[in-house]
Structure 1
Amino acid sequence: MKNAESSAINVASETTNSGPIGKKKSTTPLLAAEVPIRPDRGTHRMKRGLAIFDIVLRIGALSSALAAAATMGTSGQTLPFFTQFFQFEASYDDLPTFQFFVIVMGIVAGYVVLSIPFSIVCIIRPHAAGPRLLLLILDSVALALSTAAAGAAAAVVALAHSGNSSTNWLAVCNQFGDFCQQASGAVVGSFAAVLLFLLLILFSALSLKNAH
């Protein structure tokens, strides 16, 4: 009798765990397979292309800033007629605005040189947001400095070309034509650097968009 009871109990325990066709049901839930998320190839190529174009723009900004600083820093003219006691001479260091211009353009050019390694890192790792964000912030500072220097120098150059009859300021470019030509060229170069920094900021913002 004991053997019959034990066998009956075993059969009952097996039938409670069996399915409708006699197979044992699994109580373990199915886990979804984890698929690694890979960046889109199109996005990857776009970010790398922007990074390559970024370094090209930086080289252009460096050339513009250096040319502007060098042109303004070497600007000067001495008129052929002079007396025994004084001579007529114009130089960039006669005006604090032009001195500020040379200093700022030199600082901006130095910053661009230091930023090129970070731009190379962005080429190697296009989806790295840290270096790109740092460049975006520093480029904005460089843009502000360049715009301030270019605007101030442009105002002085315009005054030198046209003068101001209300304040009896003469148009000195009528006498110092070479000096004004050099100063005007330096201002044009500085505005070219401003435009390139605007493009750098724009491309940095596009690269940071949907960054992984």
Structure 2
Amino acid sequence: MDSNQNTDEAVLVPKSRSKGKAVEDASPAPTPAVVSTKKVTVVVRRVGWKKGVAIFDFVLRLCAAAAAFAASVAAAQAEQILPFFTQFLQFHAQYNDLPTITFFVIANAAAGAYLVLSLPFSIICIVRPYKVGPRLLLLILDTVMTTVTIGAAGAASAIMYLAHNGSVDANWLAICQQFTDFCQQITGAVVASFVAAVILIALVAISAVALKRTTSITTH
């Protein structure tokens, strides 16, 4: 009897220990990782929006460059000679006779050249919509060229107003009554310059909005 009892106890003790060890080693299974697709969808939409804005920026730069060059060329080619009976006395009107119109020609040519040179940076903004450096550089330079273009167009428009209407107080004659072709060509150039200035203002606004969205996304 004693030997059988010892054998039973020897067998029962390891079984109880193995069960306890199995209970102790048991641990809850790890929960599967849940990937939120909402944030990924929002980021993709923002990337698409920024790329579309960058493409629109590129197109506007082409239009502004065309308007600025058209204004500069039209003003530089404005010239008229009034016919008189003698060849020794002629009334000649040209853009470099007026310093304001000369500044107008130079400013619009500089604006057109800048807009052409800014096209590679606009392409970088299309390829890399989250790059802050090129967008910030375009914002600063666009603001400078907007100021120059508006200043040149405003000064030229003031001169052309006097050319069309004259000034009784200053005894300035309305020369456009004689130099009609010259005044019409300069007036068209001033209109084209104001078109370029309006597009530059739109480019500044686009760059500011795109830069704000870029910084907000990077901070999040």
TM over 0.5: yes
In the TM superposition, residue 81 of structure 1 has moved relative to its aligned partner by 1.4
TM-score by length of 2: 0.80
TM-score for both structures, normalised by structure 1: 0.83
Name 1:91's counterpart in structure 2: 94
**Alpha-carbon distance in structure 2 between the residues aligned to 1:84 and 1:22:** 118
TM-aligned CA deviation for residue 58 of structure 1: 0.3
CA distance in 2, matches of 1:190, 1:111: 14
Q: What aligned pairs does 1:29-108 form with structure 2 within 5 A after superposition?
A: 38=40, 40-108=43-111
What is the rounded CA distance, in whole Å, between the counterparts of 1:93 and 1:146 in structure 2? 18
Which whole-Å CA distance do the structure 1 matches of 2:82 and 2:124 have between them? 51
Mapped to 2, the partners of 1:125 and 1:82 lie a distance apart of 66
- Residue 126 (structure 2) pairs with residue 123 (structure 1): yes
Offset, 1:48:
0.4
* Residue type of the alignment partner of 1:79: L
Q: Does 1:182 align with 2:185?
A: yes
**1:33/1:145 Cα in 2 relative to 1: closer, same or farther (>3 Å)?**
same
CA distance in 2, matches of 1:192, 1:160: 22
Task: Report the aligned-residue RMSD.
Answer: 2.4
Gaps of 5+ in 1: 1-14
Give unpaired runs (5+ residues) of structure 2. 1-16
Q: Give the Å deviation of 1:23.
A: 3.5
Q: Which amino acid aligns with 1:22?
A: E
Contact 1:82 1:88 in 2 (8 A): no
Tell me, in whole angstroms, the C-alpha distance in 2 between the residues paired with 1:46 and 1:96.
45
2:8 equivalent in structure 1: none
Q: Which residue of 1 aligns with 2:161?
A: 158
Superposed CA offset, 1:103-139 (max 9, x none): 1111111111110000001111111111111100000
For residue 151 of structure 2, what is the amino acid of its counterpart? A
C-alpha distance in structure 2 between counterparts of 1:84 and 1:160, whole Å:
25
Q: Distance in 2 between matches of 1:115 and 1:153?
A: 26
Aligned counterpart, 2:24: 22
Larger Rg computed on CA atoms = 2
Instruction: Give, as a single letter, the amino acid of the residue that structure 2 aligns with 1:115.
Output: S
More helix by share: 2
- 2: CA distance between counterparts of 1:84 and 1:78? 11
Match of 2:194 among 191, 196, 199: 191
Q: CA deviation at 1:25?
A: 7.8
Alpha-carbon spacing, 1:82–1:155, altered in 2? closer, same or farther (3 Å): farther
